Chain A
Amino acid sequence: MSVVDQRPGRPAATRSSRGGSRGGSVGGAWRLRRGLAPWAFVAPAAVFFTLFLLLPIGYAVHLSLRGYRVQGGGAFGRREEAFVGLENYTAALTDPEFAAGLGRVLLYGMISVPTVLGFALLFALLLDTPAVRARSFSRTAIFMPYAVPGVIASLLWGFMYLPSTSPMNYLATRLGAGPLDFFSTPFLYFSMANIALWSGVGFNMIIIYTSLRAIPTEIYEAARIDGADERQIALRIKIPLVAPALVLTGLFSIIGTFQLYSEPATLRPLTNTISSTWVPLMKIYQEAFDNDNLGGAAAASVILAVGTLVLSSLILRFFQRTTFGGDR
Chain B
Amino acid sequence: MDLEPSSSQAPTGTTRTASGKVRGTTSRRSFLTAASLGAGGALALSACGSSGESSSAAGDGPVELAFWTYTLKSADPAAQAILDRYHELNPDVTVKLSEVGGTAETSSKLLAADRADSAPDVVQVEYRALPSLVVAGVVKDLTDDVADARSGAEPNVWSLCTLDERVYGVPQDIGPMMFTYRRDLFDQYGVAVPTTWAEYAAAAEQVHAADPSVYIASFAPTQFEFFAAHAAQAGAQWWSNDGEAWTVDLTSEESLATADFWEDLVRRDLVRVEPLLTPEWNAQVNAGKILSWAAAAWAPSVIYSVAPDTAGKWEAAPLPQWTPGDAAVPFLGGSTYLVPEKSKNAAAATAFATWLATSEEGSKLLLTLDIYPGGNGGREATLNSEPPRLMPQQTDFYRIADQVIDDTTIDVTWGPNVNVAQTAFGDALNEAALNKSSFRDVYAAAEQAITADLEKSGFTVSS
B280-A270 in contact (CB<8A): yes
A165-B416 in contact (CB<8A): no
C-alpha spacing A185/B431, complex, angstroms: 11
Residues of B within 8 A of A273 (CB): 430, 434
User: Would you give the 0/1 interface string for A50-93, flagging 1 where the beta carbon is closer than 8 Å to chain B?
Assistant: 00000000000000000011110111111110000000000100
Report if A289 contacts B (CB, 8 A): yes
A286-B423 in contact (CB<8A): yes
User: Would you give the 0/1 interface string for B27-69, flagging 1 where the beta carbon is closer than 8 Å to chain A?
Assistant: 0000000000000000000000000000000000000000000
Residues of B within 8 A of A290 (CB): 104, 108, 419-420, 423
A residues contacting the other copy or chain, number (CB 8 A): 34
Cβ distance B198 to chain A, nearest Cβ, rounded Å = 26
| Candidates B131, B136, B284, B458; contact of A292 at CB < 8 Å | B136
Report if A25 contacts B (CB, 8 A): no
Residues of B within 8 A of A271 (CB): 275, 278
Report if A16 contacts B (CB, 8 A): no
Known contacts A78-B137, A270-B280; is-contact A70 B457 (Cβ 8 Å):
yes
Q: Which of B240-248, B378-386, B397-405 contacts A (4 or more CB under 8 A)?
A: B240-248
Report if A323 contacts B (CB, 8 A): no
Query: Which residue of chain B has the shortest Cβ distance to A97 in the bound complex?
Result: B427
B residues 81-133 in Cβ contact with A at 8 Å: 104-105, 107-108, 111, 131-132
| Candidates A69, A75, A80; contact of B137 at CB < 8 Å | A80
Residues of B within 8 A of A272 (CB): 220-222, 273-275, 430, 433-434
User: Would you give the 0/1 interface string for B285-306, flagging 1 where the beta carbon is closer than 8 Å to chain A?
Assistant: 0010000000000000000000
A76-B131 in contact (CB<8A): yes
Report if A162 contacts B (CB, 8 A): yes
Residues of B within 8 A of A77 (CB): 135, 458-459
A residues 148-184 in Cβ contact with B at 8 Å: 158-159, 162-165
A292-B132 in contact (CB<8A): yes
A74-B243 in contact (CB<8A): yes
User: Would you give the 0/1 interface string for B235-277, flagging 1 where the beta carbon is closer than 8 Å to chain A?
Assistant: 0000001111110000000000000000000000000011101
A68-B430 in contact (CB<8A): no
Report if A14 contacts B (CB, 8 A): no
Known contacts A272-B221, A292-B132; is-contact A74 B164 (Cβ 8 Å):
yes
A69-B278 in contact (CB<8A): no
B residues contacting the other copy or chain, number (CB 8 A): 48
B245-A75 in contact (CB<8A): yes
A164-B283 in contact (CB<8A): yes
A163-B280 in contact (CB<8A): yes
Cβ distance A300 to chain B, nearest Cβ, rounded Å = 15
Report if B7 contacts A (CB, 8 A): no
User: Would you give the 0/1 interface string for B192-231, flagging 1 where the beta carbon is closer than 8 Å to chain A?
Assistant: 0000000000000000000000000000111000000000
Query: Which residue of chain A has the shortest Cβ distance to B132 in the bound complex?
Result: A292
Known contacts A79-B135, A270-B278, A292-B132; is-contact A73 B244 (Cβ 8 Å):
yes
C-alpha spacing A78/B338, complex, angstroms: 17
User: Would you give the 0/1 interface string for A9-21, flagging 1 where the beta carbon is closer than 8 Å to chain B?
Assistant: 0000000000000
| Candidates A71, A164, A269, A292; contact of B108 at CB < 8 Å | A292
Residues of B within 8 A of A163 (CB): 280
Query: Which residue of chain A has the shortest Cβ distance to B105 in the bound complex?
Result: A289
Query: Which residue of chain A has the shortest Cβ distance to B282 in the bound complex?
Result: A164
| Candidates B132, B278, B280, B460; contact of A73 at CB < 8 Å | B460
A75-B243 in contact (CB<8A): yes
Report if B312 contacts A (CB, 8 A): no
Cβ distance B22 to chain A, nearest Cβ, rounded Å = 41
Report if A312 contacts B (CB, 8 A): no
Report if B11 contacts A (CB, 8 A): no
Known contacts A68-B136, A76-B135, A292-B111; is-contact A162 B278 (Cβ 8 Å):
yes
Known contacts A76-B416, A292-B111; is-contact A162 B457 (Cβ 8 Å):
no
Cβ distance B329 to chain A, nearest Cβ, rounded Å = 25
Query: Which residue of chain A has the shortest Cβ distance to B131 in the bound complex?
Result: A76
C-alpha spacing A69/B455, complex, angstroms: 10
Report if B163 contacts A (CB, 8 A): yes
A276-B426 in contact (CB<8A): yes
B423-A276 in contact (CB<8A): yes
User: Would you give the 0/1 interface string for A261-293, flagging 1 where the beta carbon is closer than 8 Å to chain B?
Assistant: 000000001111101110000000010111110
B459-A75 in contact (CB<8A): yes
C-alpha spacing A232/B246, complex, angstroms: 73
C-alpha spacing A272/B457, complex, angstroms: 30
Residues of B within 8 A of A80 (CB): 137
| Candidates A76, A185, A275, A291; contact of B163 at CB < 8 Å | A76
Report if B279 contacts A (CB, 8 A): yes
Report if B134 contacts A (CB, 8 A): yes
A69-B164 in contact (CB<8A): no
Residues of B within 8 A of A70 (CB): 135, 457-459
User: Would you give the 0/1 interface string for B413-439, flagging 1 where the beta carbon is closer than 8 Å to chain A?
Assistant: 000110110010011001101100000
Query: Which residue of chain B has the shortest Cβ distance to A165 in the bound complex?
Result: B279
Query: Which residue of chain B has the shortest Cβ distance to A73 in the bound complex?
Result: B244
| Candidates B164, B277, B419; contact of A75 at CB < 8 Å | B164
Residues of A within 8 A of B279 (CB): 158-159, 162, 164-165, 270
Residues of B within 8 A of A270 (CB): 275, 278-280
User: Would you give the 0/1 interface string for A181-206, flagging 1 where the beta carbon is closer than 8 Å to chain B?
Assistant: 00001000000000000000000000
Cβ distance A280 to chain B, nearest Cβ, rounded Å = 15
C-alpha spacing A177/B197, complex, angstroms: 37
Query: Which residue of chain B has the shortest Cβ distance to A274 in the bound complex?
Result: B430
Cβ distance B121 to chain A, nearest Cβ, rounded Å = 21
C-alpha spacing A244/B325, complex, angstroms: 76
A69-B457 in contact (CB<8A): yes
Cβ distance A152 to chain B, nearest Cβ, rounded Å = 15
Cβ distance A312 to chain B, nearest Cβ, rounded Å = 30
Cβ distance A66 to chain B, nearest Cβ, rounded Å = 12
Cβ distance A182 to chain B, nearest Cβ, rounded Å = 12
Cβ distance A281 to chain B, nearest Cβ, rounded Å = 15
Cβ distance A179 to chain B, nearest Cβ, rounded Å = 11
Cβ distance A60 to chain B, nearest Cβ, rounded Å = 16
B280-A78 in contact (CB<8A): no
C-alpha spacing A119/B214, complex, angstroms: 42
C-alpha spacing A273/B131, complex, angstroms: 30
Cβ distance A123 to chain B, nearest Cβ, rounded Å = 32
C-alpha spacing A116/B222, complex, angstroms: 34
Query: Which residue of chain A has the shortest Cβ distance to B138 in the bound complex?
Result: A78
C-alpha spacing A288/B105, complex, angstroms: 11
B283-A78 in contact (CB<8A): no
| Candidates B275, B283, B458; contact of A69 at CB < 8 Å | B458
C-alpha spacing A75/B248, complex, angstroms: 12
Residues of A within 8 A of B278 (CB): 162, 269-271
A sample of 15 cross-chain residue pairs with beta-carbon separation below 8 angstroms, ordered by A number, consists of A70-B457, A74-B243, A75-B246, A76-B164, A77-B135, A80-B137, A269-B278, A270-B278, A272-B220, A272-B275, A273-B430, A289-B104, A289-B105, A291-B419, A292-B108
12 other A-B residue contacts (CB within 8 Å) besides A74-B164, A79-B458, A291-B419:
A69-B458, A75-B242, A78-B135, A79-B457, A162-B278, A164-B284, A271-B275, A272-B430, A289-B104, A290-B419, A290-B420, A291-B417
